[in-house]
């Protein structure tokens, strides 16, 4: 998370996040039902059942991760509906909807990479599988699965063919933190050690921007059959949002893995977390192909000219901070600067990349913003409470 979110690391500040109203009070009364993520016996015992060492903290972690994977599945389904592959091969988790409904949007996505539709469909498939597996795992341990579907009240794109059922997430009004770009390229700073980082696309971090076409009006071609700059900007926005979402998972799983007691639960987190890292690597590469265009108050800068898009600074350090093909984590300081630089996933501390920090970043992104009220839906309250339980889990020896 960037410096604005790092203040959420402590319990006191997490409580303040809720108390100050960033998460809307609406839906708080529904939280009790969702927070019953484990049987009553867990209130009395430190472990679930007599044949396993899985603890209440392990259950809290798996429950939170399943909830967040449901959120991710919801947003990826929306991307796949509009920009996914139309000829994807079958898989054990076959997506139950028609994809690739907006060919003009796909044209914009193809500028980022010729395989974008397939990658989008595969990422969607993965997130659906993560949520289903984690829920099944909870049930196998005698705990209750999590289901946030009652918060699916947000309107989807109105592009022809898109089912007009409510969604958990809003992809039409995003404020995207792109500091993940410079964070992974830094050779001397680490968010876990207090490092702060600039945005790669400063304008995305200001205002509200659509990452999907809002209606068929956004898909109109010009007389030569070309898409508009506006639609290309929407596709570019999506590309950076893909990486923002998956960067969160890349850090979240290793951060929470440090709190796990049961070795099988640890195996689950390391295994799913590895796929999230693969997602992020893919999207961080594709985002670098976004074209240098301006659409209203949104400009996608040329990141390969050695100029800092935030302040106009130049020099070798600036060039290394923004160069688009530097997609592998640059070796940086870790644990203690005396140990020397090492290439790592960052952040991995609970304060910077834990459950509460993840929910805060999603809320700041605008994912849960209800356009009818201008406020977050009640899902934020529920996710925050689940996140606090996950972050408060302690590894037991």
CA distance 220 to 117: 20
Give the list of residues 6+ apart from residue 22 with CB closer than 8 angstroms, or none: 360, 363, 376, 380
141 contact partners, CB below 8 Å, separation of at least 6: 48, 49, 52, 54, 59
**CA atoms of 20 and 1, how far apart (whole Å):** 20
- Angle of helix 103-110 relative to helix 56-83, nearest 10 degrees, comes to 110
Over its length of 397 residues, how does the chain's per-residue pLDDT go in tens digits?
333 333 233 444 444 444 444 444 334 444 444 444 444 334 334 555 444 579 999 999 999 999 999 999 999 999 999 999 987 766 656 566 789 999 999 999 999 999 999 999 999 999 999 999 999 999 999 999 999 999 999 999 999 999 999 999 999 999 999 999 999 999 999 999 999 999 999 999 999 999 999 999 999 999 999 999 999 999 999 999 999 999 999 999 999 999 999 999 999 999 999 999 999 999 999 999 999 999 999 999 999 999 999 999 999 989 999 999 999 999 999 999 899 999 999 999 887 779 999 999 999 999 999 999 999 999 999 999 999 999 999 998 8
**What beta strand segments (E) does 40-184 contain?**
none
Contacts of 223 (CB under 8 A, 6+ apart): none
**Burial (Cβ within 10 Å: 0-12, 13-18, ≥19) of residue 193:** middle
Residue whose token pair is 């301006």 = 294
Closest CA to 168 of 182, 153, 187, 185: 153
Spatial separation of the C-alpha atoms in residues 83 and 81, rounded to whole Å? 6
The pLDDT score that the predictor gives to residue 93 is 60
Write out the two tokens for 10. Answer: 């402590």
Count of beta carbons in the 10 Å neighbourhood of residue 140: 8
Residue with token string 């990479």: 113
Give yes or no for a contact between 392 and 350, defined as CB atoms under 8 angstroms apart.
no
Query: What pTM was computed for the model?
Result: 0.87
**DSSP result, 253-317:** HHHHHTT--SHHHHHHHHHHHHHHHHHHHHHHHHHTT----EETTEE---TTSSB-TTT--BSHH
SS3 279: helix
For residues 350 and 9, the answer to whether their CB atoms sit within 8 Å is: yes
pLDDT at residue number 292:
96
| Nearest-5° Cα angle at 333, 328 to 337 | 165
Q: Which of 307, 101, 317, 126 is nearest to 213 (CA)?
A: 101
CA dist., res. 141 & res. 137, Å (int): 6
8 Å CB contact between 57 and 393: yes
Q: Is 367 left (phi over 0), alpha (psi -120 to 50) or beta?
A: alpha
Report the first-to-last Cα separation within the chain, whole angstroms: 29
pLDDT of residue 97: 76
By DSSP bridging, strand 298-299 and strand 294-295 are antiparallel
Torsion (CA) 246, 251, 253, 258 in degrees, nearest 10: 180
pLDDT for 352 equals 75
The pairing of beta strand 375-376 with beta strand 369-370: antiparallel
């Amino acid at each position: 998370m960037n410096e604005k979110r790092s203040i959420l690391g402590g319990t006191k500040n997490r409580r303040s996040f809720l108390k100050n109203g960033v998460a809307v009070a609406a839906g708080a009364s529904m939280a009790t039902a969702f927070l019953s993520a484990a049987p009553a016996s867990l209130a009395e015992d430190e472990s679930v059942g007599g044949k396993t060492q899985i603890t209440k903290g392990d259950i809290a972690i798996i429950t939170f991760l399943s909830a967040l994977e449901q959120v991710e599945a919801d947003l990826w389904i929306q991307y796949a509906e509009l920009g996914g592959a139309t000829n994807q091969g079958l898989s054990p988790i076959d997506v139950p909807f028609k994809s690739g409904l907006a060919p003009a949007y796909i044209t914009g996505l193809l500028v980022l990479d010729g395989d974008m539709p397939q990658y989008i469909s595969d990422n969607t498939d993965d997130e659906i599988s993560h949520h289903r597996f984690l829920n099944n795992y909870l049930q196998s341990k005698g705990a209750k699965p999590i289901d946030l579907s009652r918060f699916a009240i947000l309107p989807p794109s109105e592009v022809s063919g898109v089912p007009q059922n409510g969604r958990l997430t809003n992809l039409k009004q995003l404020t995207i933190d792109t500091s993940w770009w410079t964070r992974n390229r830094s050779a001397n700073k680490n968010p876990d050690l207090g490092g702060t980082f600039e945005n790669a696309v400063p304008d995305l971090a200001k205002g509200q921007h659509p990452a999907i076409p809002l209606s068929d009006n956004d898909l109109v071609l010009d007389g030569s059959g070309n898409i508009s700059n506006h639609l290309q900007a929407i596709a570019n926005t999506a590309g950076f949002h893909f990486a923002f979402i998956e960067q969160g998972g890349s850090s979240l799983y290793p951060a929470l893995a440090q709190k796990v007691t049961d070795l099988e639960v640890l195996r689950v987190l390391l295994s799913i977390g590895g796929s999230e890292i693969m997602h992020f690597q893919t999207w961080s590469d594709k985002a670098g192909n976004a074209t240098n265009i301006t659409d209203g108050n949104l400009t996608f800068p040329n990141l390969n000219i050695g100029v800092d898009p935030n302040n106009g600074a130049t020099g070798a350090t600036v060039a290394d901070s923004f160069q688009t093909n530097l997609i592998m984590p640059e070796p940086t300081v870790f644990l203690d600067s005396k140990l020397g630089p090492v290439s790592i996933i960052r952040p991995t501390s609970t304060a910077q990349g834990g459950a509460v920090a993840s929910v805060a970043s999603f809320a700041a992104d605008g994912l849960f913003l209800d356009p009818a009220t201008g406020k977050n839906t009640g899902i934020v309250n529920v996710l925050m409470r689940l996140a606090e339980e996950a972050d408060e889990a302690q590894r037991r020896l």
